Structure 1
Amino acid sequence: MDRSKSRWALGFAGVVSLFFILTWHGVSFNYDFENFFQHDDSELDFYQEYRELFQNDNDYLLIALENKTGVFDSAFLVKCLAFENDLLHINGVVEVVSVLNQKEPLISPFGVNFRPLLNWSNSQSLSKSSQKIKADKQWMGNLIAEDSSSLLLLVQNEQMISKENGDVVYDKIAGKLHEYDFDGFRTAGKIKAQGAFVNLLQQEFAFFLSFAILGVLFLLWLMYRSWWGVVLPFVIIVTGIFWSVSFLLLTGGELDVMSVMQPPILMVIGLSGMIHVVNHYQAALIAFESKEKAIFGAFKSLGLAVFLTALTTSLGFVSLYFTNVPSLMWFGLYTGCGVMFMFLSLFSILPFALYHLPPLPSTNREVWAKRWNRVLRFLFQKITNYRKTISLTFIVFTLLAGYFMSQVKTNGYILDNLPEGHSLLEDFRFFDQQYGGSKPLEIYLQAGSKDLTLFDYKVLKEIDKLEDFVRGNFGSGFIMSPLTAVKAVNKAKNQGKPKAFVLPSPLAYERMQPMVNRIGDSQNIKLWTADKMEGRLSTKMADGGSLLGKKQHQKLEEFVANKIDASLLEVRLTGTSFLIDKSHELVTYKVFSGLGFAFLLVGIIIGFLFRSWRISLIVILPNIVPLLWIGCVMYWFGIEFKLSTSIVFAIAFGIAVDDSIHFMTNLQMQMRKQQGLLKALYLTYLTTGKAIILTTLILVSGFVMLTFSSLEIPWFTGVLVSLSLLFAVLADLLWLPVLLLPFKEVIKEKINRRLSPDQDKQTLQK
């Protein structure tokens, strides 16, 4: 690129920057659980229809109110009831369910009467009520903790409440909790979790942006020891990030748990591309070329290579689009676009700056160049002497790594992203231990034929069998279904005895059917449709992870297939928890499917450079190494496949393949100078080898920044991508040259075909 073109390029950068400044929309953050569901999924479509019939299964807030002397304390209960009544006046709170407002029906010859479940009007009534409740599993572990240390308020908020309105509702509830000064309290639910996640995102984004900036400035000063060697790259990188974030916001995107990783990722990617160009420019100056010739040569020689590396890195991120998980899809797409914006920033600003700024300081430049050459020369000599040993070592290690990687299990949790010890995580675990779980479990029920309803006795028997299995298989506490109304009536007919909370005999059920309708219609939660043909079984369970969830789901399917009469009752598992568990499992498969597509495209790019599918395959092999090796690392350290770890493979491949692209383009350039393959490899090793090592160190230092995150996704990305980049350097500098040497005739032929007519057609030196 000459001087005049560099001015046009800088003008282009100015126009793009001005456009994004004028269209700036401001930063917005988002965390929506449904962004981690698989879209274009029949199960998601079914759940959306299901919640139209009944309700969303996670629009609630669990509140546990603690009392040091136990919950059966009249003063404590009075305060709890006042708090509950205050909650009902908060706009957005629909209903509060607790032991304080429960009334149990009692059926006598004179009709149906309802009496408060808990009576604390005097000490005698309280003692009698508490003894009765403690003996009743319908309430203990459901609305009162097993150890009686706390009672539960289940707050139903507006259906499908927005994040903003949910924040307002939760802030008001939290304010009331502090106002009443209970001995302790715990809260868990979507309206709390979303707000907590967004607060974490805002903190993480500010932290990573500032930390990445300081890290890049420090690295630049170490490398160049010049004011413009620090300021210029910083301007280029910040410009690229500004374009990327502006484009995201302009097209309706929002910053979420994934996109907070973009600043450090884009910074180190932009810096590594710039180092390749500046390194070539400095090498030309050391060789006493003029400044203009050095700049022109650097961009001419490396323009295609830097573009291809940007393209392959972008493809690695874009491969995440195939996961069909919105959060991953948009992270991959926008980060892939960000990489290309960084390339545009680099090639529109750097040429003009190099022409108009003085050369970098030359102090000790030649000394360091000699040291680099000495080390790389020694390394290349050892590689050529031990080719068979190196190949065998890589093959054996990679095959073993592939085996261990195949043993890695897929397992994820709803609150995977939260750091260990976070208050929200601790609260959810509290409800898992004390109240049978915080994770909703929903099962759709439908009468097996049009001649039946869910309240036919033989259908109720099937529901009873299903409830027993769900209780044992999922470890659930209290279960609600159409059968709940029947059990409640039977209990009422037996003076409220806990043992009577069961399905009665056929004759007894026939006599109580009118009462079932009356009590059932007064239920707070919708459990069946008006025609009684469709219903739900709703409960909660502890979050044991998607691996355990998959086994539980399979057992449920087997039970339904073998023990439930489909002509009487049809059963289908659904709900947000089921969809998230399924996403953890499917995302791993789809990430690797997307990687296959990325491998194919990179293979085509390499094939385009050398016009040979064999060379393309050779270059792909070293890039399989880091993926399998980090899979092996995951196995040995007990790291499982999940949403937060599967994406690492797409990111790692997109960045690691850059080394191979740079190596092969430089090798092609050396061979076009009529060098034999061995000599061309040697010269490539001395020039590109240094740049590959430097850029890898910078990339690793950038990704290591992510390990300071308190969120799981950035932390795993930082650790595993850093390791994969180190593995990629070993594969590209140790194994790739060894793989290329046996194909010198093929490479020679391909290069000869591409030489221009005025070039010497003599046989390439051996």
Structure 2
Amino acid sequence: MDRFRALYDRLILPNPAWVLVVFGLLLALAAVKFGQFRLDASAESLVLENDRSLEQYRAVNRRFTTSDDFLIVTYSPRDELFSEPGLADLRALRDELQALEAVGSTNSILNVPLLHSEALTLDTVDTEIKTLDQDEVPPDTARQALLDNPLYPNLLISEDARTTAIQVNLPTPERYFELLGERNRLRDKAAAGEASDAELAQLETASDAFIRYTERLGEERDATIDTVRAILEQYRDRAEIHLGGVPMIVSDMIRFIQNDLSTFGLGVLVFLVLTLAIIFRQWRWVLIPMLCCGFTVWMMVGFLGWAKWPVTVISANFVALLLIMTLSLTIHLIVRYREFQHDQPDAEPRAILSQTLMAMIKPCFYMAITTMVAFGSLTFSGIRPVIDFGWMMTLGLTVAFLITFLVFPCLIALLPPPLDARVTSDRVPFTDAFARFTERFGTTVLVASAIIAVLCAVGVSRLTVENSFIDYFKDSTEIHQGMITIDDRLGGTTPLDVVITDDPAPESATGDSDPFASGCDPFLDDCGEAETYRDTWYTYQKMRKLGQVHAYLDSLPETGKVLSIDTTLDILAQINQGERLDALELAFVPAAVPDDLQDVLLTPYISEEHDQARFSVRILETMPELRREALLNRIHEHLTTELGYEPDQVLFTGMTVMYNNMLQSLFDSQIKTIGVVFLAIMAMFLLLFRSLKLALIGIAPNVIAAGSVLGLMGWLGIPLDMMTITVAAITVGIAVDDTIHYIHRFKTEFSKDRDYLATMHRCHRSIGQAMFYTSLTIVAGFSILVLSNFIPTIYFGLFTGFAMFMALLGALTLLPRLIVMIKPFGPTDTD
């Protein structure tokens, strides 16, 4: 402590202006990289650490020449769609969208082939297929042809033919995949410890190139989406139009993050200014804390820019959290400073400042360390964005502590606050009411705490992790409205790919074996189990088995549109006058399908090169009973037990799988993070207080605070999600601040008269005020988050505010009651 006093007395307090000048240079250096600060709402930012599902998803998309890089425009005209004016309006809209530079192509009822000609057969398919774009097809005929086609209903047209969709394809340039592949190759080599110094340098270069290219691609996508929205606006007087698709969702999520960072960061700042002005009634006690908060955020934004460390959906709240955590530190300093002013009204401002710093640096350091431990525990979650959030906040708290104990004293030295009536008043603070209540109703406090603990335990047991992605957005948002329309009328929103790998060749099969040796012709007959192995999917037995998979997937209530090679066979059967293809015709399907239809009817579903068949499934995201994990397990069990596929032959990919992997890890992750938090804080308490009794006493109100928020979520049926998983750990981290300050002050005050009750009253009148003001500002600050369009952010704000209220209540009632009852500081003088 003497070293700190010497540092302040000799270097900082005598030269506050020069210290601020040097600090200003650091702020300028941080500002240089503000332009590198970026947001990330890509698939990579929402997956588990080391989750290979994203790579599998990309590989399957490239293998089957399919992609989710498209926008969906749902179009429900106010008048009849299948009329000359209705189709003309749709065509005009389609043409405007297709003319955009970033649009590779569009798919709609206007350009897809119609199967209505009586002359259409397998032999004439090249010449007899017609489209609304290129041929004179009567609207009523086109309507019926589209509804009769197995491919289009619930995909491009609703079953009542009132709603149609335009698929606006935004192809990802090949350069993106080249850069991604190079980065991943070097990253894997580095992770395995096999990369040379030159390859590590190449990895940094490749990562930078990939980030720059991705940012540029994102900016171009955003501009395209804005242009699409402007085009759609011109048609809204004639039709009900919604925009959907993965690129739009990503773009809007980034916009929501930007809005939360700017609007809510500013909103939190305004709330904090008002709260400080109401509490302290002095402009210095508003300006100085706000400068400390602003400088902390400034430095962190600059650091993230220098480090090229993106902010994700989860870590977007780091601005609000840093503002509040920094403010918590400064409020404790302000309250302590004013206490010394009250006790020593004639003392020099610099002497009071020195006393304040020496009295508060130790508990504030302990507070910062334990809060860092709480946020650091998030690195055990296994979820990449949660891990990043933990590290960001750990670093941010370090910056907050250093700035508070550097900038705050310098500003106070330059702008010493005068005495006012509120400081010199001997009025008993209202926080003493909590002490009187605890003294009088101590048993009630213990019983109520036990009841709350039981209710929390029951609530935690009711927690779930299943939720719908649509529930992340308010009803008024375009994402929400578009998802409902697509789910209800166009076959589902969230993609799931089920990939089947072909049966391996029997050991007896040889390359020159006679396929007719068994007496069964595999081209003409259903040879059943006796069918000779041939390296092709287009055999009767294999297609029949794939048809069974398709029928099962289509029968599930959670699935909407299901597409596979079986859909293609249904189309070919329709062309074949309603007759299913026999074994010989199946063998010639690849040759029978025209080249210009191969990418529509064959390659999205069969990869002969990789011996795989793909089923494209759309999940009904708005279904209340949707349970992704149970659905995937049920599908896997049916395919492996009922249909006889080996477990390693069945692969699930797609956004549904990656999102489900993240969700299912949440509960386990929550247990891990909370367990690590409490163990680490217990260890910190033992180290700080050198007493097991005090450690256990200190942890009790924090357990109830964390348990209350999780228990309330369980009782209300609100599932864990990407944001709420962090609330419990954050709550403990913030709530433990009150515990440390209170115990530290209690120990100091108790040494004066060794009277537990008198000490409790003195602590409530002093540190109790700081705790109350801090909690009040936190609750007020987080309340602004309810205005977000992102529902997890709203939950984050509400539950964090509620948890802080519970933490304050516990620190002002349960904590002092346990101290008075257990007497961890030894007996009183009268004992």
Aligned-partner SS, 1:524: helix
* Counterpart-to-counterpart distance in 2, 1:60 and 1:379: 62
Which sections of structure 2, spanning at least 5 residues, go unmatched? 177-213, 506-532
**Structure 1 pair 321–138 and aligned structure 2 pair: CA distance change class (3 A):** same
1:61-116 Cα distance to aligned partner (Å, 9 max, x none): 11223323332113332443454455444333333222222225776485544434
Q: Structure 2 CA distance, aligned partners of 1:487 and 1:253?
A: 50
Q: Are residue 208 (structure 1) and residue 264 (structure 2) matched? A: yes
Measured after TM superposition, the shift of residue 398 of structure 1 is: 0.6
Q: CA deviation at 1:676?
A: 5.2
Residue deviations 1:586-633, cap 9 Å, x none?
A: 123213312222222211111012223343223112111012212232
Is the counterpart of residue 528 in structure 1 residue 586 in structure 2? no
Q: What is the TM-score when the length of structure 1 is the normalising length?
A: 0.89
Q: In structure 2, what is the equivalent of residue 509 of structure 1?
A: 583
> Which residue of 2 is the match for residue 350 of structure 1?
408
Structure 1's 100 and 665: CA in aligned 2 closer, same or farther, altered over 3 A? same
2:716 alignment partner in structure 1: 637
- Offset of 1:200 from its aligned partner? 3.0
**Residue 493 of structure 2 contacts residue 620 of structure 2 at CA under 8 Å; is this kept in 1?**
yes
TM-score by length of 2: 0.82
Corresponding residue for residue 50 of structure 1: 60
* C-alpha spacing 1:204/1:463, structure 2 compared with 1 (3 Å): same
Check the 8 A contact 2:149/2:571 in 1, yes or no.
no
Q: One-letter code of the match for 1:70?
A: E
Q: In 1, distance between residues paired with 2:57 and 2:269?
A: 44
Q: Out of 86-95 and 619-628, give the one that drifted further.
A: 86-95
Alignment match of 1:326 (pick from 384, 396, 400): 384
The answer (yes or no) to whether the contact 1:398–1:625 under 8 Å persists in 2 is: yes
Q: CA deviation at 1:654?
A: 1.1
Query: Would you say 1:21 and 2:28 are equivalent positions?
Result: yes
**CA 381–61 in structure 1, closer or farther in 2 if over 3 Å, else same:** same
Q: In the alignment, what sits opposite 2:299?
A: 243
Tell me, yes or no, if structure 1 residue 664 matches structure 2 residue 743.
yes
Q: Do the aligned partners of residues 618 and 115 (structure 1) sit closer, same or farther apart at CA in structure 2, a change above 3 Å counting?
A: farther
Q: Contact 1:163–1:194 (CA<8 Å) still a contact in 2?
A: no
Q: Deviations over 1:505-531 (max 9, x none)?
A: xxx132342134431863225322243
- Residue from 140, 144, 165 that aligns with 2:153: 140
Residue of structure 2 equivalent to 1:760: none
2: CA distance, partners of 1:691 / 1:652: 18
CA distance, structure 1, for counterparts of residue 740 and residue 363 of structure 2: 7
> Aligned equivalents of 1:228 and 1:124: distance in 2?
78
- In structure 2, the partner of 1:191 is 247
3-state SS, counterpart of residue 523 of structure 1 = helix
Shift of 1:533: 0.8
Residue 595 (structure 1) aligned to one of 657, 674, 678: 674
Equivalent residue, structure 2, for 1:4: 10
2:497 is paired with a residue whose SS is: strand
Counterparts in 2 of 1:559-708, with a 5 A limit? 559-566=638-645, 570-672=649-751, 675=754, 677=756, 679-708=758-787
1:310-356: per-residue Cα shift (whole Å, max 9, x none)?
Answer: 22223333333333333333233223322221221110022233344
Partner of 1:759: none
- Whichever residue aligns with residue 379 of structure 2, its letter is Y
Residue 304 of structure 1, CA deviation:
1.2
Partner of 1:294: 352
Q: Does the CA contact (< 8 Å) of 2:80 and 2:162 recur in 1?
A: yes
SS at match of 1:536: strand
Distance 1:91 1:545, change over 3 A: farther
Q: Distance in 2 between matches of 1:696 and 1:120?
A: 65
| Aligned equivalent of 1:752 | none
SS at match of 2:563: coil
- Shift, 1:715, TM fit: 1.2
Give 1:439 shift: 1.5
Please give the per-residue CA displacement for 1:626-668, whole angstroms capped at 9, x wherever unaligned: 1221223223433222223222112211111111111122223
- 1:734-745 to 2 correspondence within 5 Å? 734-744=813-823
CA offsets per residue over residues 23-47 of structure 1, 9 Å max, x none?
Answer: 3332544432431111212434433
Report the equivalent of 1:150: 163
Other-structure match for 2:511: none
Match of 1:103 in 2: 113
Q: Verify the 8 A CA contact 2:685 2:694 in the aligned structure 1.
A: yes
Tell whether the 8 Å contact from 2:495 to 2:654 is kept in structure 1 after alignment: yes
Percent identical pairs in the alignment equals 19
| Per-residue deviation, 1:474 | 4.8
1:273 counterpart residue number: 329
1:158-211 deviations in Å (ceiling 9; x for gaps): 136832232233344445445667534322112222222333333333322332
- Root mean square deviation of aligned Cα: 3.1
Q: Match of 1:69?
A: 79
- Could you tell me whether the CA contact under 8 Å between 2:150 and 2:570 is conserved in 1? no
Q: Check conservation: 1:411, 1:545, Cα contact below 8 A.
A: no
* CA pair 138-12 structure 1, distance change in 2 beyond 3 A: same
Per-residue CA distance 1:221-266 (angstroms, 9 max, x = gap):
2223223222222222211221122122221133443444333322
Q: Which moved more, 1:672-681 or 1:418-427?
A: 672-681
Work out which of the residue numbers 42, 56, 60 in structure 1 matches 2:70. 60
- Find the residue that maps to 1:40 and give its secondary structure: coil
| Closer/same/farther in 2, CA of residues 469 and 422 from structure 1, 3 Å limit | same
Q: Equivalents in 2 of 1:568, 1:656: separation in Å?
A: 47
The 8 Å contact of residues 738 and 811 in structure 2, kept in 1 or not, is answered as yes
For residue 449 of structure 2, what is the aligned residue in structure 1?
394
Deviation at 1:725, TM superposition (A): 0.8
Would you say the 8 A contact 1:412–1:581 is kept in 2?
A: no
The structural deviation recorded for 1:672 is 5.0
Cα offset, 1:477, TM superposition: 4.2
- Report how many aligned residue pairs link the two structures: 740
Question: Which structure 2 residues correspond to residues 411-560 of structure 1 after superposition, within 5 A?
Answer: 411-450=466-505, 451=533, 452-494=535-577, 497=578, 504=581, 508-519=582-593, 522-525=597-600, 526-531=604-609, 533-543=611-621, 544=623, 548-560=627-639
- CA–CA distance in structure 1, aligned partners of residues 483 and 426 of structure 2: 56
